[in-house]
Amino acid sequence: MRVASRIRMPGPTLPAREAERMEARIRERLEPEPELLARLAQVRADLVRAVGEAARARQSPLVRALIAGSAARGTFLKDRLDVDLFMLFPPTLSREELARHGLGLAEAVLTAPERRYADHPYLRGTFQGFTVDAVPGYAVTDPSHPLSPVDRTPFHDEYLRAHETPATVADVRLAKQFLRGLGVYGSEARTQGFSGYLVELLVLQFAGFRPLLENARSWRIPARVRPPSEDPPRLPDEVALILADPVDPHRNVASALSRRNLAVFVLAADAYVADPSESWFRPRTERLLTRADGLARMAERGTAVVVVELPRPSLVDDTLYPQIRKAQRALAEEVARAGFVVLGSASSAGAGGVLVAIELASETLPAVRIQDGPPVGLDRVGSFLEKWTRSDARVLQGPYVDEGGRLAVEALRPEREIIPILRGLLPRASLGKNLTPGAHSPLPIRRLADQPDSPELARALTELFGKHLPWRRR
């Protein structure tokens, strides 16, 4: 069933043959040079051999080392080439022993190793001029029962190598570049986009880049690419795309993909098929908005923006960003419950901390607040009347009976300005495990005009005021 309303790009549409030639030119530009592929193959062999020698020298219980991912299959984009080294150890090792042995081997073979964290620690360094991520994992025999998230990776690699052809590989690179141009390529929590593995499976599923787009333009969210009988169990309510992992049917490969980013892709697929051009494959650079830009947009819209600063905890991005989004939602919901009209919110994080920006219809509430009471006839009527007829009750009108037969009173609001109200709301807002401040740690809350410029503010303002379809600019 096709979507009723389509996004159409202005201008003429390329004839089918010219569109095919255009895509062929882009495939050719994306194809790695033979010299690079040959050098990469040698580096992969040398790296695996170096890890094996280090393991023997250290008497490490390494089962095997392998290079997997896009660098192993040639599905990488030339300017985003990292080598993924996996060092697999016996399942009997504890997590602590796994990290100790794995990081020790990586430090022995990599230059300038830097410790990073995902589900567990790994090292990033260089080897013969290539950036390498060296990740320890377990040598499991059943990918549906992994002990760590990376344990499926060798099985993913084997599956894709067995099914991909040179034509498929070329279309995977084309699809990645297309998604990159939309800003939805990458499964990390900060991006919530398409993982490389998901892209490869989708291109395989639909036998090419153009067939994938032709199919995707009619997707509904949540979208399925296989029959519901093949769905993994325990899917979350907000799932965007459902595709069972061929090596572990209990896992949804697209679990990291957000509904927003899938919707962008669906609209883009339809718009591209209607009017293909090379511009779709050019990475777009977003101009970040300054505070002055934000104030100008605010004046144009007749709104107000308040900014809350949170200290940045020492967490990896995949743990931090879900908490930031939770804090953003919680603050916006608390402000709305207080009576403000919330038009939008945004968040960002950087070395300077975490920022949440909230756009309001007004930063001041009316002096009057309507307090609903119980329906006439309930026992609680007496206590409501007693409370609101006391001499110290700040009543502007009432008590009275409203059209629905309930008691009501219109009271004078004790506080009307957003900043003191928000400061009072913060202690009860659920901001996330690592973002909730202590009782004696007041958070900075400022109007946009008083907030200093910073990279974090620029990103938050761009998210708040820079909304547009990626292929259409304001």
CATH number of 34-143: 3.30.460.10
Count Cβ atoms within 10 A of the Cβ of residue 269 and give its class: 0-12 exposed, 13-18 middle, 19 or more buried: buried
Q: How is domain 291-364+416-465 classified at the CATH fold level?
A: Alpha-Beta Plaits (3.30.70)
Range in 159-168, 249-258, 427-436 the model is least confident about = 427-436
Are 36 and 131 contacting, i.e. CB atoms less than 8 angstroms apart?
Answer: no
- Among 333, 334, 356, which residue's Cα sits nearest to residue 451? 356
The domain locations on the chain are 16-30+164-281, 34-143, 291-364+416-465, 368-412
Over residues 408-428, the pLDDT tens digits come to: 999 999 999 999 999 998 888
Hey, which bits of 233-384 come out as E strands?
Answer: 241-242, 244-245, 248-252, 304-310, 342-350, 353-360, 368-375
Class (C level, CATH) for 16-30+164-281: mainly alpha
Half-sphere exposure of 247 (CA within 13 A, CB side): 23
Are 345 and 355 contacting, i.e. CB atoms less than 8 angstroms apart?
Answer: no
Are 410 and 267 contacting, i.e. CB atoms less than 8 angstroms apart?
Answer: no
**How far apart, in whole angstroms, are the C-alpha atoms of residue 147 and residue 137?**
8
Over residues 253-283, the pLDDT tens digits come to: 999 999 999 999 999 999 999 999 999 998 8
Over residues 279-330, the pLDDT tens digits come to: 999 887 888 999 999 999 999 999 999 999 998 988 888 889 999 999 999 9
Q: Report whether pLDDT(6) > 70.
A: no
Over residues 366-417, the pLDDT tens digits come to: 999 999 999 988 878 999 999 999 999 999 999 999 999 999 999 999 999 9
At 181, is the pLDDT very low, low, confident or very high (cuts 50, 70, 90)?
Answer: very high
Are 349 and 188 contacting, i.e. CB atoms less than 8 angstroms apart?
Answer: no
Distance linking the first and last C-alpha atoms of the chain: 32
Hey, which bits of 210-273 come out as E strands?
Answer: 223-224, 241-242, 244-245, 248-252
Are 469 and 267 contacting, i.e. CB atoms less than 8 angstroms apart?
Answer: yes
- Among 161, 165, 186, which residue's Cα sits nearest to residue 176? 186
Q: What is the DSSP string of 343-379?
A: EEEEEEEETTEEEEEEEES-SB--SEEEEEEEETTST
**How far apart, in whole angstroms, are the C-alpha atoms of residue 314 and residue 246?**
35
